[in-house]
A = this chain, B = another copy of it.
Amino acid sequence: MIANLSVTEENYIKAIYHLQHADGNVSTNEVAEMLHTKAASVTDMLKKLKVKKIVNYEKYKGFTLSTVGEKIALTIVRKHRLWEYFLVEKLQFGWDEVHEVAEELEHISSRKLVEKLDTFLQYPKFDPHGDPIPDINGKMVIQPQINLTDLPLNVIAEVTAVGSQSTELLELLRHKKIAIGTKVNLKKKFLFDNSVEIKILNQAAFTISQQLAQALFVKKIPNA
């Protein structure tokens, strides 16, 4: 029922999925940039994916995934996040090392493998970066998470996700000792550069940049 797709096709589908969930309608240039390729290549692939009924596409008008395309994207995201969980929890990788390896593993086709892996891992709901793992039907837990910059002052919250998997961000977070589950507390907002001062248990308060603050998603702790 789900067509046989090349690794390249799957990468396009995943890119469109992520862009459309950030943005709505997706443009050729956005996809080209995300995949480090050229707009002309994207147009070529869109024609192929349109024939396969995976995207809704009219030329010059932007595009989105079809219902089928969205389902395919969710199976790829599911595989990616399950493998990341496996790499960190079972193989002792650092959370900042797993993204690239998972980019390869997510294209292994065996459905049975994914389900057995899920069972082995005991059905995790979130990957090591705090992103929800879709279940076999594509459903995932929606966490009521807000951006750190929107947290009221002096309210203790827990880091639940990070905005990207870039090595640069993850390296910085490791250095600052911020991880999924870390409890933070907003002390002050500086309007000059939108940097914010935060406090972590057992550490002196320190200031982080606007860029970093915006990459941190948190959940208020119910009884705090």
Contact = CB atoms under 8 A, between A and B. Distances in A.
Contacts of A113: 87, 91, 101
A105 interface: yes
A68 interface: no
Contact of A90 (B87, B92, B110, B120): B120
A119 B112 CA distance: 24
Interface in A102-151: 104-105, 108-110, 112-113, 116-117, 119-120
A93 interface: yes
A117 B92 CA distance: 10
Interface of A: 87, 90-93, 97, 100-101, 104-105, 108-110, 112-113, 116-117, 119-120
Given A90-B120, A104-B110, 16 more contacts: A87-B113, A87-B116, A91-B113, A91-B119, A91-B120, A92-B116, A92-B120, A93-B112, A97-B112, A100-B110, A101-B108, A101-B110, A101-B112, A104-B108, A104-B109, A105-B108
